[in-house]
Amino acid sequence: DVGEMISESEVLLRRLLHEDIKLTTDYGRNLPQVRADRGQLDTAVMNLVVNARDAIRSHGGGTIRIRTARVNQDEARNLGYPTAQGDQAMIEVSDDGPGIPPEVLDKIFDPFFTTKPVGEGTGLGLATVYGIVKQSEGWIAVASKPGEGAAFRIFLPVHTPPAEEAHAAPPVAAA
């Protein structure tokens, strides 16, 4: 349950931020379950929040927003997942920072790529996020305009758990 996961991580995520950065959350309704490793998804969201924090700190503070939603196929395609099939669970981490320069946008998920000064970043945060999303059979999209912040959207296929044995037909007694 992505909403529950974010809710439970919120206290930790707030500790990663500084007083000049506000964290807001927006939980959608009718949130679906997904089939993914919870610890890895927590790591992915934390990496996105840390990147957003670093981006907006360089501009004197701002707001990071985490939004969860259930989106249908057309909504997912409009939000950056061009080959979406069916409903998706979406986790969006956005900020009101400086945005991502267009000339580096196609490199941000490359291992060891960083725009941070030497000694301040390994370039593994977004590469790790990308790997976690792909391992979970998901998609990650980025929307950014210089001066208008960035939004990272993780899309994960909706998982419908198999019916529990308690709901199976009772056995028929032999005569």
- Please tell me whether residue 26 adopts helix, strand or coil conformation: strand
How far, in Å, CA of 47 to CA of 40, rounded?
A: 10
Contact 19, 53 (CB under 8 A): no
CA 8 to chain centre: 15
Give the residue with greater pLDDT, 170 vs 153. Answer: 153
pLDDT category at 156 given cuts 50, 70, 90 is: very high
- Is the CA virtual torsion 59, 114, 132, 77 positive or negative? positive
Instruction: Determine what percent of the chain is predicted with pLDDT higher than 70.
Output: 90
Per-residue pLDDT tens for 117-141? 666 767 788 999 999 999 999 999 9
Say if CB 62 and CB 95 are below 8 A apart: yes
Res. 44: pLDDT tops 80: yes
